[in-house]
Structures are given as C-alpha cells and as structure tokens.
Amino acid sequence: MPSRSFVTIGLVGPDRSGAIAAVTQQLFRMGANIESLEEQVARGKFRMTLLASWPGSKLEGQKIRAQLLSLAQQLRMKLTLRLSDATRTRKRLAILVSKEMHAAEAILRAWKSRGLSAEPVLLAGNHPQLRSLARRFRLPFAFIDYRDRPRAEAVLQSHLEKAEVDLVVLARFMKILSPDFVWHWKNRILNIHPSLLPAFPGASAYRQAYDKGVKIVGVTAHFVTPDLDQGPILCQDVLRLRPNEPLASIISRGQKLEATCLLRALKLCLSRQLDIHWGRVHGV
C-alpha cells in the first residue's frame, strides 16, 4: 500500500455553528483525507479532535500549520497540531514527573536497554528535583511552574509540540490537567494511579487504603480523561498486605508495582492497535 502521513488536529473554543464544516472544507482543499473526527460541546465550549492523512511519506508541515492556524484564528479557537510522517518508525514520548522518580526511571531504563520501541524526547516536571534524572539519561528537562495552570499548560503544550511528541506519560505527575489540555491529547496520555480504580481515586491513595484496612492494594494504568482517575483502564496489578504492615512499607512495595504496571501499559500502547469503546480498552 502507498505510504500516508498523518496530522492530528485539536480545536477548542467557543461553540459556533459551521466550525466543523469550515475545518473539513479547508482540509479537502488541502488534499487531505479525514480518517476520524470526534467533537463535543459542553457549557458553551466546543472541542474537536480530527485525524487527517495525506498521501506520501513527507508532509508540508509548515504550510499545513499556517493555513489551519489562520482558520483557527478566524474561528477564535485554539489549535494544536501533531504531525507524524510515514518515515517515523518509533513513537516519541514525553514523560511528566513531580518528585518521585521510580516510574520515570523504569521507563528510561527500559529504553536504554532497548526494551522499549519508543524514543523518550522530553522529561518535564512541576518541580526541579528530577532534572538530575534527565541529565543522567541525556534528555532535555523542562521545568513547568504550575502556580498558574493556564499559563503552565500553554508552556507545556509548546514544549510538547516542539519535541513532536506522540504520547505523554504521567510518571507520578502530581498535577491535574485541565479538560481542554486533555482533549488535545485524547487517548494519548497515560497515567499510573496507586490504587485499584475505581477504588480510592484522587490524592493519598495508599493512605486511603491503609485507613480503610484493606487486605489487597493495587495500581492502575489508564488513559487520562477530563474526569479525574476515571479514564479507560489499560492494566492493573495487586499486592497482598502483610499483617500489621506499616504504611511506609506499603508505599515502598506499591511504588515498585507502579513502575512495572506503567511500563507494561506503555508497551501495550506501542505494540498493539487498541480500540477504546464506551470507556473500555479492547485489544489488550
């Protein structure tokens, strides 16, 4: 089959009639084929994600970006683009962190040992502590000041676009992403949560489990959606608690489980064609 190159387009802004038609007509004039389209209107805000393809292995990326950016400005909407030409064989990863390194380090070790069919291209964090981890693996590090979330997400989005990132991995990144940001990366953000979701969502999951006296705790790797810790589940793992085991020991053992579960989920995303339907992941 002839090769094709793909562009993922995200559009967020005030709801207005004709927005979908304006984008699809522009793409038709540019010679694109629309592979998929999903849109949502909630509380007067319009969100759309669209996958378009062009024949051939090379994209006229600057021309495509310029024309669609001009259209987005006319619609008074925010545009994001992710270009992926047919010559790229490995997904490009951004790993987001806070202060804990166990999950990110597991991914980077797998990459260095050639156990990961992807290329980490960026480590970004809302704390500067893990800059040393990026330095150790010779990756660029972006410190994202999250005291102002809209500004922080704009800076983060800029870093992701410049690095031409395909997948975002939240490796114990302890900040909540806005619905608009998540929409631009629909089914492209993986997270690891330290509980067997849907039990114990939100912060301090190990503490919640400890306080409830549960006998089995676990971890969940899932896609991120605008609803906190409610995204489609990729994989889970569990550990049985020892009698009178202290919280510090539970956290320590749980962190090892987090690292292996997140890495397994990432490999699933990279190795298989997953279908997400009615909030469930199929093909795993």
Residues labelled catalytic: 229
Q: What is the H or E stretch that residue 262 is in?
A: helix 247-271
Among 199, 223, 227, 226, CA closest to 282 = 223
- Report DSSP state, residue 242: P
Q: Can you tell me the distance from the alpha carbon of 121 to that of 159, in angstroms, rounded to the nearest whole number? A: 10
Are the C-beta atoms of 282 and 128 separated by less than 8 Å? no
In single-letter form, the type of residue at position 5 comes to S
CA angle 174, 133, 207 (to 5 degrees): 30
Q: Can you tell me the distance from the alpha carbon of 55 to that of 86, in angstroms, rounded to the nearest whole number? A: 9
| Angle between helix 19-29 and 61-75 (nearest 10) | 160
Q: Which two tokens stand for residue 235?
A: 């994989």
Q: Compute CA 102 distance to the chain's CA centroid, rounded to the nearest angstrom.
A: 18
Q: Can you tell me the distance from the alpha carbon of 55 to that of 25, in angstroms, rounded to the nearest whole number? A: 18
Q: Give me the DSSP letters along 111-154.
A: HHTT--SEEEEEEEESSSTTHHHHHHTT--EEE--TTSHHHHHH
